[in-house]
Amino acid sequence: KAGVTQTPRYLIKTRGQQVTLSCSPISGHRSVSWYQQTPGQGLQFLFEYFSETQRNKGNFPGRFSGRQFSNSRSEMNVSTLELGDSALYLCASRPLRSISSTDTQYFGPGTRLTVL
Amino acid sequence: DAKTTQPPSMDCAEGRAANLPCNHSTISGNEYVYWYRQIHSQGPQYIIHGLKNNETNEMASLIITEDRKSSTLILPHATLRDTAVYYCIVRASGGSNYKLTFGKGTLLTVNP
């Protein structure tokens, strides 16, 4: 079974621009989460989506948004980019067989975003 | 979710067992212990998880103390490719509020 895939793998943008990152979860997985990893803050949770709805959100400004499609694929958008948004953005998926299940989350390779 | 404490770094000789400790003294009864690792600039890789019994899979073994306040991840025969940051994470089972809280982890360096 193919793993979580993310596109693009590398991206360079300038301040003020916006960016959209894409994530395809493992086949059959219904939940997609996004994380940001920076050298200073480490790995931080951004948000989780399932059933095309944001279910859980981390402590990030409104410039960070996302969506999920009916096939569980997800996109993450960052508007008005700042230098501090340079990071590795990671997508992770889990089966979500039921709300009470103990799922394991599997990560994609990440998208390396550099803001100049 | 309970907080975890890990040593910042460890060394291990190639071919020897690597034993990575994790302290989670405030763990609750419904919280699982998860281990992930991250090789430089790649996405975290799931290794193993457990509740209270010891667990083993093709990658590693997880030993959880009887009081569940600490655990040890064991890589039985470490190779150079096991050099990575290893994260110990505690999270409750089920629930719609699912997120993994990563600490700084342990940088394991496997030496030839």
Q: What is the pLDDT of residue A31?
A: 92
CA A66/CA A78 separation, integer angstroms: 9
CA B70/CA B68 separation, integer angstroms: 6
Residue type, A6: Q
Residues, chain A, total?
116
B19-38 tens-digit pLDDT:
999 999 999 888 899 999 99
Higher pLDDT, A63 or A96: A63
Q: How far is CA A25 from CA A6, A59, B26, B86, in A?
A: 9, 23, 33, 23
Q: Tell me which chain B residues have a C-beta less than 8 angstroms from the C-beta of A111.
A: none
Nearest to A45 by CA among A86, B41, A55, B35: A55
Q: What is the pLDDT of residue A101?
A: 63
Residue spans of chain B under pLDDT 50: none
Question: How many Å lie between the alpha carbon of A17 and the closest alpha carbon of chain B?
Answer: 24
Q: Tell me which chain B residues have a C-beta less than 8 angstroms from the C-beta of A55.
A: 96-98
Question: How many Å lie between the alpha carbon of A112 and the closest alpha carbon of chain B?
Answer: 9
Which residue of A42, A58, A106 is in closest CB contact with B99?
Answer: A58
B52 has a chain A CB within 8 A of its CB: no
Question: How many Å lie between the alpha carbon of A59 and the closest alpha carbon of chain B?
Answer: 12
Q: What is the pLDDT of residue B1?
A: 65
Q: How far is CA B86 from CA A80, B6, B81, in A?
A: 34, 9, 13
**Within its chain, how far is the Cα of A46 from the centroid?**
7
DSSP letters for B41-106? TS--EEEEEESSS-EE-SS-EEEE-TTSSEEEEEETT--GGG-EEEEEEEEESS-S---------E
Q: Tell me which chain A residues have a C-beta less than 8 angstroms from the C-beta of B34.
A: 104
Percent of chain A with pLDDT over 70: 96
Q: What is the pLDDT of residue B91?
A: 86
Strands B106-111 and B9-13, how do they pair?
Answer: parallel
CA A104/CA B41 separation, integer angstroms: 21
Q: What is chain A's percent helix, strand, coil content, to nearest 5?
A: 5, 50, 45
Residue type, A81: L
Which residue of B96, B103, B104 is in closest CB contact with A99?
Answer: B96
Q: Tell me which chain A residues have a C-beta less than 8 angstroms from the C-beta of B96.
A: 55-56, 99
